[in-house]
Amino acid sequence: MAFKERFILERAVFKSDRYLDVDAVRGMLIVIMALDHANYFVAQQHSLGEYWGGPYPTYSGSIAFLTRLITHLAAPGFFLLMGVGMILFAKSRQRRGWNRWSVVRHFWVRGAILVIIQLLIVNRAWELSPGGWGMQYYIGVLFALGGTMILASMLLWLDSRLLIAITLLLFVGTELTNPDPNQWNLINQTPITLLFVYPGGDQALWSNYPILPWLELVTSGLVFGSWLADDSDRAYRRGLILGGVFLLLFVLIRYLDGFGNIRPRAGASWIDFFNLVKYPPSMAFTFLTTGINLVLLWLFSRISMGKAGILEPLAIFGRTPLFFYLLHLFLYAALGRLLAPNGSSILKMYPTWVLGLIILFPLCIGYANVRQRRPLTHILRYL
């Protein structure tokens, strides 16, 4: 089948009850996530730091910093959109006759699979890191996505106002439960705290994504998803307003440089202003990234009403996120070893990033069709 015909077929398969704008935003986040990992495997200039303690990351220049800054949208966007997708999935399955337990069980199985994939497959990709990999167990983004999915599945039928209250409690709790930055490498971090509360650890167990600090973004997605299911136009307008408020709060919190930052700025430059604590996500980090993501959801919803075809290539990636994630790590690790074994400049890394996207695009189309059209692949419905 010709490529154009396969592309049209894929569009028809997913035309039913999916939100093109949501898929496209997810796809955009996947594309910029790939940029971050191309930076890691190919340029070998990925920043270190961004934790609640320890040294701040340093950058060779503004291009290196901006390359990292834009990719900050990815992780919080994935958690937010996962919450949106969970609500839409639950409502869709209830219309098909599923009871609540069936929906919860689906998310428990799916969450557990994500955790297992992190430990058994994704961590093998990180072992291909250019500088070596000495960690025995690593808690990454799929672990937290799976864990928060399991927890959030028990909140699906709560009133949106109660979900907002829970989100605010989690939001403030991330700041209050975090250790003093001066305690970095001094406190005794247990497996429980590393898996659920705050990042850190040692070579035996290192955690970047403990579950509870990222749950606030999933519950935010549950709220937005419930709005979307009730009235999509109103939901996007609310998202635009809320996104603007979040961005204003980000500027205020960074200017005051106190509560909400987890740790004070390293200096007075514009890079220092946007150099945020991601592990765990500080209020400033969440306000900036989620504010932009909400505005993008509104923008893409407007585009989908008039020029939907523009969004289709991004939506292809957005409909196959886990498949893309697993392949792209190994792909960029291979491209890095083949094309830039000793690393490269940031600018020379960009064509390799694009090359990886070109390779993955038709593979994602093919996988989407297999998952949608072949019922014998039962396990694929969880991926």
| 126-176 pLDDT per residue, tens | 999 998 898 999 999 999 999 999 999 999 999 999 999 999 999 998 889
The candidate with the shortest Cα–Cα distance to 199, out of 279, 285, 317, is 279
Q: What burial class does residue 5 get, using C-beta atoms within 10 Å of its C-beta: 0-12 exposed, 13-18 middle, 19+ buried?
A: exposed
3-state secondary structure the chain: CCHHHHHHHHHHHCCCCCCHHHHHHHHHHHHHHHHHHHHHHHHCCCCCCCECCCCCCCCCCHHHHHHHHHHCCHHHHHHHHHHHHHHHHHHHHHHCCCCHHHHHHHHHHHHHHHHHHHHHHHHHHHCCCCCCCCCCEEECHHHHHHHHHHHHHHHCCCCHHHHHHHHHHHHHHHHHCCCCHHHCCCCCCCHHHHHHCCCEECCCEEECCCHHHHHHHHHHHHHHHHHHHHCHHHHHHHHHHHHHHHHHHHHHHHHHCCCCCCCCCCCCCHHHHHCCCCECCCHHHHHHHHHHHHHHHHHHHHHHHHCHHHHHHHHHHHCCHHHHHHHHHHHHHHHHHHHCCCCCCHHHHHHHHHHHHHHHHHHHHHHHHHHHHCCCCHHHHHC
306 — pLDDT class (breaks 50, 70, 90): confident
Please check whether residue 255 is in contact with residue 266, taking contact to mean a CB–CB distance below 8 angstroms.
Answer: no
Query: What is the predicted pLDDT for the residue at 383?
Result: 61
Provide the residue ranges of all domains of the chain, joining segments of one domain with +. 3-382
**What is the pLDDT averaged over residues 349-361?**
98
Query: What is the predicted pLDDT for the residue at 9?
Result: 42
Q: Is pLDDT at 5 greater than 50 in this prediction? A: no
Q: Which residue has the higher pLDDT, 47 or 66?
A: 66
Residue 25 one-letter amino acid: V
Query: What is the predicted pLDDT for the residue at 13?
Result: 39
Please give the share of the chain, as a percent, with pLDDT higher than 90.
83
Q: Is pLDDT at 86 greater than 50 in this prediction? A: yes
125 — pLDDT class (breaks 50, 70, 90): very high
Please check whether residue 149 is in contact with residue 107, taking contact to mean a CB–CB distance below 8 angstroms.
Answer: yes
**Cα–Cα distance between 97 and 109 in angstroms, integer?**
19
